[in-house]
Each structure stands twice: as structure tokens, then as C-alpha cells.
Structure 1
Amino acid sequence: MKNSQTQRDYSLIRKVNDGDTSAFRQLIFAYKDVSLSLAISIIKDPIVAEDVLQDVFIKVYHKLHTFKFKASFATWLYRIVVNTCYNELKKKKHTISLQNTTETDAILNYEKDYLKDADHKKYINLTLEKLKPDEALVLRLFYLCECKIKEIQDITGFKSSKIKVDLHRGRENFQFYLKQILGDDLNNLL
């Protein structure tokens, strides 16, 4: 039997397909934050990621009638997010740009003096931004979205061996960059 979130999603999808636009808003509201996080992990530019996500939601609205009710809506949606982001990168034919490292380090050195519990998410996101896109994506899907390896395969099209390697490397690189960003303050974050 499907879990309660899946059942709610299926109910909302049926309502959207029957013309209820408020149901679509509810559906998107439930997944917008995680979807944006996934987009940022690939695109590396929050503004561009937000634009791409708008395109994703338009695609989802127009293609929702093709949803087969075999997988979870989250898996279907995240697959569209991932594909749209990678297509955007290919279309722009640009490499993923990061801020000037010196500028980033100066900002982080200033900010880490004021580390508070509310800043945890910010520092985690800053660390994820330093990872390779595939590593950041797999970590977010595994930990943030709580996807299993099979679901990550369905979303990304990656082989399970690649997912496991990216998880392993991603964890190591995440720890390395987080230590680099926070230094001695890492213990305060944990």
C-alpha cells in the first residue's frame, strides 16, 4: 500500500486533472523547497535555478495528465527537475561558475564568527555548492529527499554503482569543505 503522502499526492493530481488549479498549488507548495534545493545543487546559481524551476512547474502542469500513478509524484517531479536543469546547463553551454574563491573565503571567514543554530542550513548549502553537481545532487536526494538508491536511479538515470560512488565521495568532500569553511566552529554546528 502507498504511504499517506503518496495517497495525498495522487488525490491532488486527480483533482488537478479535473481542473482544480488550487490543488496544483497545494501539490507544488509541498515540493517547491526541495525542488529548488535540487536545482541549485545542479545549476549553482540560485537565480537561474529559480527560473528553471518555474519552467519545471509549467512542464509539470502541462504533463500531469501523463502521470501513471505507478511511482511517487516526488520521484516523477524530481526527475523533471534534474533533466530540466541538465538541459539548461547544456543549452547555455557554460561551465558551472562559482564565485571567486578569495571573495567567498572572505565572506565565510566573516560570517563564521557569528555562527548560530539558525545558520546551519546556510552553511550546509554553502558546502553543497562547493561539491561537484552529481555529488551534491545525490547527497540531497539521499539525505534531504530520503530517496532510496533505486529512486535516485529513477530520478537521475545514474547506475547504482555511480550513485554509491557519488554518495561516498560526496560525504568525504562535504566533510572536507565544511571543515574548510567552518574550521574550529564545526563542533558548534554539530
Structure 2
Amino acid sequence: MDNLYIKKVLNGDTEGFRYFISNYKDLAFSVAISVVKDEFWAEEVVQESFIKVFQKLKSFKGRSSFKTWFYRIVINEAFQRLREEKKQHLYQNELQETELSSVENNLNGMTPEEQTILVQEALKQIQPKESLVLRLFYLEDQSAKTIADETGWTEANVRVILHRGRKNMLSVVNRLLCNELKTV
């Protein structure tokens, strides 16, 4: 059946690609999550894998089954995602340590009111999802599970947004503090 749909897609019937998505998405997700260990990342891996399969379908030679070829792409994408995250994590740790010490030094000389104003301004400058999750988590003391229930996102997605929000918030606060020091 796979070969029939491969021919359809290669002959220009892009709707025929839905066959592959419907038949392989669950197993692809299962493979991806076993490697990346995070639902949000696994969803990204599966999506990227389907895009690559669609783009490279012409290069499928049929030496193995389509399923084997497809899963090899999913596995490669998953491990690529891990490598990228590892590089990013190492870079961010170095950057965060530098930024955190700078922020801590500058915050010590501020009044609580000035700190509140700084936080409110920083929340305005980050992505809306990140701002929402940070407000709910830190200012409203809600758990990631509660936030997921309220927003309709997965708990893993909330945790990813929370992680990214912290990093972006730290960068914005540091930038605001640096700008404040320049004007003084």
C-alpha cells in the first residue's frame, strides 16, 4: 500500500501524503519520545520528520521498506534534536551564569518597588506565552499541571515555555539593567 501512495505523491497528488501521516504518526511519536524524552520535542521531531520525508520522497529507492526508511529519518531527527539541545544548553549555562551574577549585583541596589517595575517591564518584552506562564507560575503560585489545565497545553509544553521564559526574562532584565546603568 505504501508504494501506491508513494507513486501518487510523486505524481503530484500531495493529498496522498495524508496516508503516511495517518498511518505513521503514532509510531513516529513513540520512537521520537523514546529518544528525546519530552512530548513537546517529540512532536517537533515528528513534524520535522514528515517534512523531510515529503521533501526527500524522490530519493526513496525501495531498497528497504518505506517504514524502515521513515523511521531512520525520525531517529536521525530525534538525535539531531538532542545534539542541538545539548549545544544550546551548554552555551546557555555559560551565558546564564554571567547574566545571573550581573543581574544579582544590580538588583541588590534596588528598592522592592524598583524591582517590581523592572519585572513588569521585562514581562512586557517577552513572548506572550512566556509572560503568561511566568506570571501564573511565579506570581500566582500555580503548578505546571494547573497551568496546563487552564491553558489547554500539555504539561511538558508548559515546562518548556517556563524554561524558555526564564531564560528570556533573565536576558531582558539584564539588558534593562545595563540600559539603566548607561543612562545614570
TM-score of the superposition, structure 2-length normalised? 0.46
Greater RCO structure (CA 8 Å; 6+ sep)? 1
- Which is helix-richer, 1 or 2? 2
Which structure has the larger Rg over C-alpha atoms? 2
TM-score of the superposition, structure 1-length normalised? 0.45
